[in-house]
Amino acid sequence: MNERTFKALEYEKIIKMISERAFSPLAKEEILNLIPTDNVYFIKDKLEELDELFKFIIKYGNIPINAYINNALSLDKAKKGGLLNTRNFLDINVSIRCARDVKKHIFEAINQDERNEREFERLDDLAKNLEEFRELSRKIEDIIIDVDLISDKASSELYDIRRGIRNNNAKIKEKLNEMISSSKYKKYLSESIITFRNNRYVIPVKSQFKGEVKGIVHDVSSTGASVYIEPQSIVSLNNRIKELEVRESEEIERILRKLSDMVALRAEDLITNENILVFLDVLNAKAKFSIEHDCFKPNISEDESINLRGARHLLLDKKKVIPSDIVLEREYLSLIITGPNTGGKTVCLKTIGLCAL
């Protein structure tokens, strides 16, 4: 077998069709790299493997491999002591939940009939090897709300820090609202609003009155008509918020460090889980393709004979293509195919070649 043979028989087109039924880029790539083998024992083993999932899907529906992520880089980083970010943890949890759903689906199906454990022995073994990581998953969900938000309840320290930030914000707004609504300051303001400059609370003051409002000038409007002043009365409160925000960042880093260490301890097991998901994803794509094209498990000849019944070329519409019965016993050296030049002979030859591949 060589590239010329694969190209002549359009093998890569069949493989591409199968790959399109896989979920992850990793599984798609693995399918695209599949090449035939002449190891009879290996072929039979892979066909048994596929036939098991084929029958399982017919009986119990598709396994739910529709949401998992390749986290190899993140897990390797955690193993080396690196600090993972919120996106890394959310992605890891996506794969954990997918593994849990797959395991549940397989076990629930197999438990419906005591004979299923023997009929779906390989699937049963794979599902048993999928770990659920419930404690790690719960920790991730308790700590990370979304990619930009850590829960207040991630730690008591973080809760207290954020409560302090909220309280100081409330005090600042109260003082500024008093200022912008008072008759003393209202005439100095270009607008009666509270705004932000350089991450500090400020109020817009008419330029000609900037000396009437004691505080720090943080910005000037594009026209120069207004200056944005942080009143002296809130400077210490703004400073306190900045201090608390630094402590908040430090506490978040400590929380993520602890969670990264948890992941590092289970990194190898998480990688094993994801490898099983990729394996099932590849197998699932093969099975779905087989079902869609009315395929079935062939017996493998060990004496070089060919006995194809109702064989169809997979690149042709199955509703239109005429199936062929092709038999070439061991004692015959050749088979002559005759007929008019309408493409039928070529289709027949390619069908034999593709079936062999």
CA triple 76-77-81, angle to 5 deg: 115
Dist CA 10 CA 5 (whole Å): 8
Q: Is 311 left (phi over 0), alpha (psi -120 to 50) or beta?
A: beta
Instruction: Give Rg (Cα) of the chain.
Output: 34
pLDDT of residue 72: 95
The tokens 């939940």 sit on which residue?
Answer: 97
Contact 163, 174 (CB under 8 A): no
pLDDT of residue 332: 86
The two three-digit tokens of residue 122, written as one number: 């390989």
pTM: 0.86
pLDDT of residue 188: 87
Closest CA to 53 of 92, 110, 6, 2: 110
What number of CA atoms fall less than 13 Å from residue 153's CA on the CB side?
Answer: 5
The two three-digit tokens of residue 304, written as one number: 């070089």
pLDDT of residue 342: 78
pLDDT tens string, the chain, 357 residues long: the values are: 688 999 999 999 999 999 999 999 999 999 999 999 989 999 999 999 999 999 999 999 999 998 899 999 999 999 999 999 999 999 999 999 999 999 999 999 999 988 888 899 999 999 999 999 999 999 999 999 999 999 999 999 999 999 999 999 999 999 999 888 888 888 888 888 889 898 899 999 999 988 888 999 999 988 888 999 999 999 999 999 999 999 999 999 999 999 999 999 999 999 999 999 999 999 999 999 999 999 989 998 888 889 999 999 989 888 888 888 999 988 888 888 888 887 788 888 999 999 989
Contact 29, 96 (CB under 8 A): no
